[in-house]
Amino acid sequence: GEKVEQHESTLSVREGDSAVINCTYTDTASSYFPWYKQEAGKSLHFVIDIRSNVDRKQSQRLIVLLDKKAKRFSLHITATQPEDSAIYFCAASKDYAQGLTFGLGTRVSVFP
């Protein structure tokens, strides 16, 4: 089955700088790549996604890049703010109805 590797387990960034989280996947049939955010003691909520028919997507300060040849996708958080501190999970799926395969998560800490 699909395996998703999330390369950074922790990231520490200065407020205002950018944070980049990288993920790779194994199944070439995967076509949907969402990102979720989990704040301390809370549940996960959706932040942004990208599908395999595009290679870049932006939503406000979040940018997702997809490189299908390398089976790699990344989340860029620009102009980081303290409220961006959280654990971020990447995920992949080839058939969304069958559920997502998640990475292990990246703990992002934004310091002043």
Partner 1 sequence: EAAVTQSPRNKVTVTGGNVTLSCRQTNSHNYMYWYRQDTGHGLRLIHYSYGAGNLQIGDVPDGYKATRTTQEDFFLLLELASPSQTSLYFCASIRDRGNTLYFGAGTRLSVL
Q: Which residues bind to partner 1, rule: CB under 8 A?
A: 1, 6, 32, 34, 36, 42-46, 49, 51, 89, 95-105
Closest approach of partner 1 to the CB of residue 104, in Å = 4
**Tokens standing for residue 37:** 């955010």
The DSSP secondary-structure symbol of 93 reads B
Strand 44-51 versus strand 32-38 pairing type: antiparallel
Q: 14 or 51, CB closer to partner 1?
A: 51
> What are the φ/ψ torsions at residue 98 (nearest 5 degrees)?
-90, 10
Closest to partner 1 by CB, 20 or 102: 102
